[in-house]
Chain A
């Protein structure tokens, strides 16, 4: 009976693939065009308002943020900049399953240009802004390995002029400069003890300088624009009603079949939608548990961390009025769907940003589509999970050929690296007269 069912399914699949025969692959109706156009980079809305960072769209802040982003001295060993794991040449990722900085991180470094539109940052959304996101790795001993006071002191010494010009206050810098011991509420050991011995005024000064550092980095990140990928060019041509000959020069028949699957039978567009191919929501797709001894609770933990996070829209260092912090005020804190759920990543440049999933569990896109085609339910450990994780996907029943077409389509989402865009370039290389253009992590 089961076999008959499978044969029947196979026949059905064969019929439906005949439905869009090879010669019709390039034929699109007006309604098709309207539908696909919603995925074009040109449909990207303006950058979302950032009430918690009044410098978000400040040019000077972006310039300062660019210097900070590529500054390797902002680390415990003088070797780690943000660009270490967010390398522009790799679309601001590092090509590793788990990032290597001073130590090894738990999760994979996500790309930045696709993330600046979402309300939450990190795989589990444990911060509500890019500026707060940028601060967290500074104090992580596996990443930059700094403490909060040392980071603030670097601002006071290395960036004093820019800081005063932009944020208009030297008092905080003076207060910070006078501190001698490494101190942070988030770094266990001496630093934590030292932090508790600072006066409230000193702590506040450090927090303000530290937060401004994040705000400048955020202003920089908002400058990262993606040039149109082949897929976007294809949509342009479709909108101009270009002929098949023209369309063929931009996307192959297999890639278009893959796009048709992506929007339909493979169900990818359910969550990977809009110009950035993400709904910015949290889902559990049952990717293999990277470490069964210490399961990753994803959004469940992220929400928990958010409510304790010192740097959110609601904090004293935020520029927002309380009523502007709506996402925090109405944060969803309960629901079994939070357990083991991770943020839908953007699929922009996905073919150039392997490996995949929150800890790089899948090395290739082939592995990824195989998982979606025949998913296994999420790992469940009664001892570690607060409740059985939900599972948000169902098998796709795609053939090997269809899976290959899907992967081919994903390749069309890669933007060319913008060689003339200064925001994608390491300012320190520029200063050294290096004309190779894009930043290198091995400088």
Chain B
């Protein structure tokens, strides 16, 4: 409900996209509503991407101006005549104030784009969950099963080091000492996930061709939980941006830990399409907790695109 309220807010805020069918006008069956809201949202997403591109252009302009300002400062310093120097200096200051404006505009554009993108993704997610309600058991982020007997599987400090990376060869391991402990334990160096990391299990592909969801096919209450050090299966639900299943896709799976050159300890792969758009991933195994990046390279309907999920286990 919250998200539907958000879309109304958005539709009024964004006159450019308010031309889309308003879901409130024609009371439609559940699936139709979710389908409509996904259509609206994917247009918002396109809009967000255009805004993002605009912000890139603006910021590029800004950096161009900065370069000019710097060059002019050099010329200014070489001027002998005081009057000439002062007047030239004034021009530079004026240009410099322009620079700040450009920079602010770029930043603002970027912020609006990211806000819009988040609204749109939340809306698509909402629609997707309703449309795929037979399949979606996990709506939150992936979480680990906790077991009394589980091995630590920590490995945090272990990373592959090329001998030419001399800085690595002088640094010593980092540890942390939690408040509740007198023991130091290995720190999650280089794997500290940023606080605002998007760990949703619902993601759009890079070029907005596909929308997908992942979840482990495991028991858990109320939502499925991911085991550690155990081979298990996932479902990978793949749709277009309107929530329609994408069938017969060619999908490559890969995973790694940032700040850690090693990948997964196994080579998982797609083993079946158990229903239209429902792909079974088998052979998934995590040997340690922490930040994992999982990537699906999808080729379907003549398009190739990449969907990335961040997990913090």
Contact = CB atoms under 8 A, between A and B. Distances in A.
To the question of whether A and B form a pair in one complex, the answer is yes
Interface of A: 9, 20, 24, 27-32, 35-36, 38, 43-45, 260, 263-267, 269-271, 273-274, 279, 281, 283-284, 326-327, 329-337, 377, 388, 390-397
Contacts of A284: 160
A12 to B, nearest CB: 10
Contacts of B154: 269-271, 273, 279
Contacts of B178: 31
B184 A263 contact: yes
Contacts of A327: 231, 266
Contacts of A392: 158-161
B158 A36 contact: no
A337 B266 CA distance: 13
B23 interface: no
Q: Which of B183, B185, B269, B287 has the most CB of A within 10 A?
A: B183
Interface string B171-183: 1110101101111
Given A260-B184, A270-B186, A330 B269 contact: yes
Contact of B267 (A36, A270, A331): A331
B91 to A, nearest CB: 43
Interface stretch (B43-51, B209-217, B256-264): B256-264
Contacts of A283: 158
Interface string B150-172: 11111111111111000011111
A390 B164 CA distance: 11
A224 B169 CA distance: 41
Contacts of A28: 182-183
A394 B265 CA distance: 21
A38 B152 contact: yes
11 contacts: A31-B180, A32-B183, A273-B152, A279-B151, A279-B287, A281-B155, A330-B282, A332-B263, A332-B264, A335-B263, A395-B171
Contact of B158 (A43, A265, A270, A388): A270
B268 interface: yes
Contacts of A264: 175, 177, 183-186
B148 interface: yes
B133 interface: no
B283 interface: yes
Contacts of B150: 38
Contacts, number: 145
B184 A326 contact: no
B149 interface: yes
Nearest to A279: B153
Contacts of A279: 151-155, 287-288
B185 A263 contact: yes
Interface of B: 148-163, 168-173, 175, 177-178, 180-186, 231, 261-269, 282-283, 285, 287-288
B171 A394 contact: yes
A270 B169 CA distance: 18
B181 A32 contact: yes
A362 B185 CA distance: 27
A273 B152 CA distance: 6
B155 A333 contact: no
A358 B156 CA distance: 24
B161 A394 contact: yes
A394 B168 contact: yes
B183 A395 contact: no
B180 A29 contact: yes
Contacts of B267: 330-334
Contact of A271 (B158, B168, B182, B264): B158
Q: Report, nearest first, the 6 A-B pairs whose CB atoms are least far apart.
A: A330-B283, A264-B184, A273-B152, A390-B160, A274-B151, A377-B163
A281 B265 contact: yes
Contacts of B149: 43-45
A266 B168 CA distance: 16
Contacts of B177: 264
B10 to A, nearest CB: 43
Nearest to B271: A329
A279 B163 CA distance: 25
A265 B183 CA distance: 10
B169 A24 contact: no
Contact of B173 (A27, A267, A273): A267
B155 to A, nearest CB: 5
Residue picked from B175, B180, B186, B263, most chain A C-beta under 10 Å: B186
Contact of A29 (B181, B184, B231, B268): B181
A326 B269 CA distance: 12
Contacts of A29: 180-182
A334 B283 CA distance: 15
Contacts of A333: 267
A31 B185 CA distance: 11
Given A270-B155, A279-B155, A332-B263, 4 more contacts: A270-B156, A270-B173, A326-B282, A335-B263
